[in-house]
Every structure is written in C-alpha cells, then in structure tokens.
Amino acid sequence: MKVFAHLRAFGLLALMALSPVFIPAADAQTSVYQLLSNAGASGPVINPSAGSYLLTFSGTFGGATLTLTETQSIGGGTKTFGPWTSAPDQPCIPVPAGASVQMTVSGGSPSGLYAILGGTGGSSCSSGASGGGPITAASGAIVDLGAQADAVCSTDTGLCSLVALVKRLNQIADAIGVSNPSPNTPSRKSALTNSVVSIISSQAAIFDWYHCSNPNGSAIYLQVFDVATAGAVSLGSTAPTLSLRFEANAAANISRAGLTFINGIQVAITTTATGSTAPGTAADCNFGYR
C-alpha cells in the first residue's frame, strides 16, 4: 500500500510537471502604467495588458512634441497616437494583446513631464474619439480598424485605418455617382485636334460613351486624360489614360464603357498614340459622361 501511495504521488507530480501552468493576466480595467516620470526625454518601452486606457499628462511641455508608439507583437506593425504639444483631454488608447508602448519626447525644453496610462474600468475605445493614427503594417500584421472619428484617408496608396479607407471609398463613390447614378451628360466637340479640350473639369466622372469620325486618309488617335484641367496636359509628355485609334475615313463608337476618371476628363486628337502632332483635318467627336 505504501509503494502504491508513493507511485500515485509520483504520478501526480509528473502530471503537474507536464501540465501547462495558467497565470491570470493583469486586469486592464484597473491597471496603471507610468510612461514618463519627471521626464525630459523619451520614456521606456512598456508592455501593458490588453485593454482600453486613458492617457493622462502633467508637467511642462516646453515646446516639446510627444508621440505614443504602439508596437504589435504579431507582424511588428506600429501605430502612433498624437502628436501632442500640450496636454490633451485624456485620449482613449486601445492596446491589443502582446503590444508594447513607448512615449517619445522630441524637441523643446520639457521639464517634469509625467504620462500615465490608466485602465478605463471596462469601457472600450470603440465609441471614443481616439482611433489613433494609421498603422504601418508589416506583412501579416494586425490591421488597424480605427474609430468613428478617424479622418478620411487622403490617399489611395497610403496606410490608413479601415474606417478612414471606407470613408475615402464612400467619398469617391458619391463623387462619381455610384451610390446615386445620374443620367448621361452629352458633350459635343467639333473640329477636335491637338489642342486639349475639357469634357469635365476638376471632379470625378464616369466616361460612358464616345463617337468620333475621322475624315483623314490615315489613322488618328483620341487621347483621353484623367486630370483636372486641359492646362494640366502637355501633349507628347503627359501620358494619356486612354489612347483610342480611329481608322482612315471611318467612324467608331463605344457605349456603356463605365470608365471611372477621378480628377476630370480632358481630350485631344493626334496622329500618334501619345504624340502631339495635329491631324491634317480635325475630327468631330461626341462624348457622354456622368
């Protein structure tokens, strides 16, 4: 019986040794982390528990600029909050699991600066006005969802939160009439040659149809540009968005093209696809856009 008891005890110890040990994580609802302490320079890297925090400042900024950088453990992406040149009204900072944060101080003559992350008591930042900055995402990084207050993304190729990108897409859709399609607007351009003329300027549009007649004994080309004004085109240098060939002594048309132009639609007729030479005789063209 003693041997059996010893074996049972040994087996229990072995099982405990092989079993994972679970340690409760810190409670982000009430956790407090000091990012700056009587600082005149950048603070240390801190690894807070996942959750939502309110950021509080005190001390003298003295012309310094403060930025909070959040680095994600998966993919190494970074997200910035700020910059601040004076104490903001307790912005809400969402921190994902495994992320680290650091408050950087640059320029100026700061003194006695303190910065503290304090748990929100269970409230999330999803409805707040923080949202942070755009994420710089390495491949495989967690994507920044953003917040309702994020500004519209200003570029198609930049790095923005998903909320900011959706706002940009909605803005483009409204501009070109995708969300509320409008009837076609006709535009007749007689005697079209190598002087650039405008179909529509300084706004997005859908290039829907065209019809051109070539009275020349050789082919001509309709160059179409996605730029705001006719003056923005330098024929022979500015690359056309489209270059459409019309055979000698013939006419051609296309309908329901549905081509989106973001900035405007400018056109010209030349003897080559991307050149600047005028045809012997100007062409007559009709266009439709919306």
Taking residues 198-209, report their average pLDDT. 86
Of 10-19, 69-78, 94-103, 183-192, which range is least confident? 10-19
pLDDT at residue 18, rounded to an integer = 37
pLDDT of 135 > 70? The answer is no
Coil, strand or helix at 219: coil
Most confident of 13-22, 131-140, 206-215: 206-215
pLDDT of 110 > 70? The answer is yes
* Residue 117 to residue 65: CA distance in whole angstroms: 18
pLDDT of 241 > 60? The answer is yes
Coil, strand or helix at 127: coil
Return mean pLDDT, the chain. Answer: 78
* Residue 285 to residue 213: CA distance in whole angstroms: 6
pLDDT of 140 > 50? The answer is no
Residues 265-285: tens digit of each pLDDT? 999 999 999 999 999 999 999
pLDDT at residue 259, rounded to an integer = 87
pLDDT at residue 196, rounded to an integer = 97
Report CA torsion sign: 258, 261, 265, 271.
negative
pLDDT of 258 > 60? The answer is yes
pTM of the model: 0.42
**φ and ψ at residue 287, rounded to 5 degrees:** -130, 155
Q: Which residues of 70-106 are buried (b: 16+ CB within 10 A; e: fewer)?
A: bbbeeeebbbebbebeebeeebbbbbeeebbbbbbbe
Query: Distances from the Cα of 144 to the Cαs of 94, 107, 141, 147, 152, in angstroms?
Result: 10, 28, 9, 9, 14
Residue 144 contacts residue 79 (beta carbons within 8 Å): yes
Other CB atoms within a 10 A radius of the CB of residue 45 amount to 12
Q: How confident is the model at residue 147 (pLDDT cuts 50, 70, 90)?
A: confident
pLDDT at residue 154, rounded to an integer = 75
Which one is predicted more confidently, 93 or 214? 214
* Residue 163 to residue 135: CA distance in whole angstroms: 12
Residue 191 contacts residue 284 (beta carbons within 8 Å): yes
pLDDT at residue 52, rounded to an integer = 83
pLDDT of 117 > 60? The answer is yes
